[in-house]
Structure 1
Amino acid sequence: MKMTKLIMTESEIKCMSTISTEGVTTTIYLADKTKILAPMIGKTLASLEEKGFVNISRSGKTKKIALSDSKHALLFRDMSLEFKHIKFEKYLSGSVLEVLSAIGFLKLATIKEIHQNCNVSEPSAARTISKLRKLGVVQKREEGYSISQRFERLKDFVIEFRHYMNTKSAKNFSKDYVILWEQNDVFIIESSTKKGDEGNFHLTGPSVFGKFGIKLFMTSSYHYHSPREKQRGLEKSIIHTFLIPLSQRVVLPVLLVWKKNEKKMNKKYLYNTAEKYGTKNRIDEVYKYFETKGAYKPEYFPTWKEFASKAKEYGLRV
């Protein structure tokens, strides 16, 4: 199962609403209560289990269904009980959670931007936003779309559900992954895997600096996950490096690969992309560090002497 799109069907939401109210239950009871045909109940519950919402066990021939203790399952329960008057299966099924996840994580001002940051077509995103605004779930202010404060628990649920799905994708890719940075369904992991690009995972950061003349001895790899864009170019890799926790072990390779390729890099693209990811200040720090030959030394940057010594090993003149 691809763990990329954030989707719940009407049947799944109906079952979750019933389980949230009743607690431990059975497939027979769920079929009767939700009016879902018995053959569909099994498929629906298997999907809910895969998405971390429920635990399924057997007692003789009877399947017992219990709410999972995952954060997103518990938040759904709280949300379902708080807003008993809302039939969430009518409003949250299909691609709605994809749209809510995008505006929950990001400041998006237009429908086009929402479409560009989730796995939903632009017309579908427009219809979804219109429906949610009428319900009062989504509001639009000068800075962009957001989930209304009244539905803060819904926002928490969507963000936790997204994190669970991201975690599952990362685990399928590498068993010893660590998510270092996350923004909607785009995230960066560090792991010991030696895999290259695979599916929605693409090598990034110091893991690709060798392609640009700075070969490093590394015991772990960095991968960028995105269902919509492939990792390309040094500029994006530098920006991704500044998204992960900083240390001199991380910053020094950036300075080396920057110096090696400074005449080839697209400065405009670098700045625009850095602004999108909120790392423009880091790009400014690198420029100032080079301009002052290390007199300006942000945290985790090496002394100019240390940088010059390492640069000499790579044949760079500073």
Structure 2
Amino acid sequence: MSRAVVYETFGGPEVLELRDVPEPHAGPDEVRVRVTVAGLNPMDWGIAAQPELAARFGVAVPSGFGYDFAGVVDEVGAHVTGFAVGDRVHGGAMGRAVADHVVVRVPTDSTEPLWHTPEGISDEVAATLPVAGMTAAAALAAIGPRSGDTVLVGGAAGGVGVFVTQLARLAGARVIGTAGQGTFDFLRRFGAEPVAYGPGLADRVRALAPEGVSAATDLFGVETAETALALGVPPERISTIAAGPTPPGGVRATGGFDASPDAMGRICDAILAGALTVPIAAAFPVEQIRDAVTLQAGRHVHGKIVITLRPDRG
């Protein structure tokens, strides 16, 4: 037997259960990964709580839980090339990641990718990269930050925001990040100039950047996108990831599935070079999945939350 976090009805953390399930095995075109760490994202508990959001991602109950994972390949199908037993990997598996084993089809696609984990990057860090890293890459690719830009980042202290902030700074841009007052010092660690979100945001941004803002990305709702439009930023230089299919004013809606094929490699290279830091806010054993999701859903976490699974199982 194997273990997996599952839920049979939509709801809050209380619907999540860690159960023994039949052990999956790799088919001819698949690999099986023994998961050591799973990374949590806001979309995970959103899918588990909201049937309409779950439907958008092709998830129906009963379901497993989570998307991001890292671990070690322990079964390889007869037709698979490029992966071998013992390879350290990380990737995405919609509604299946928080489990002892994950089976992924090879070659992979943009919805359930699988990458080799470079030496020098821990499984804890690798398990945070698929959603947050690729979403950040897509959000920035849509607006093309460059040296001399001043970029307004909405929700800069969140899981995606810390990637966006650092990647925009690596591109040579100045970053002004919206956040709550309690996260200002945290944001400054990553090179952002914090500004409080909420009513009056445009006036506060003008005070920080009287010369203007040239690009923006909104990682939470539409406040930052609407503020950027009011500040005169062209809509083609504003991106959103959580504004729905029709964001305001013709700005660009995007997400991790839009990231370029080489985005993960560039992110890993930046981590290995010490130019990008992934803050792990908390690590929970899988038996405490409800506590971990409760903390994640509170949206006051500075950095990423990961779930650890016993690597000696299976």
Task: State the TM bucket, normalised to the shorter chain.
Answer: under 0.3
TM-score normalised to structure 2 length = 0.25
Task: Identify the structure with the greater strand proportion.
Answer: 2
TM-score normalised to structure 1 length = 0.25
Greater length-normalized contact order (CA 8 Å, ≥ 6 residues apart): 2
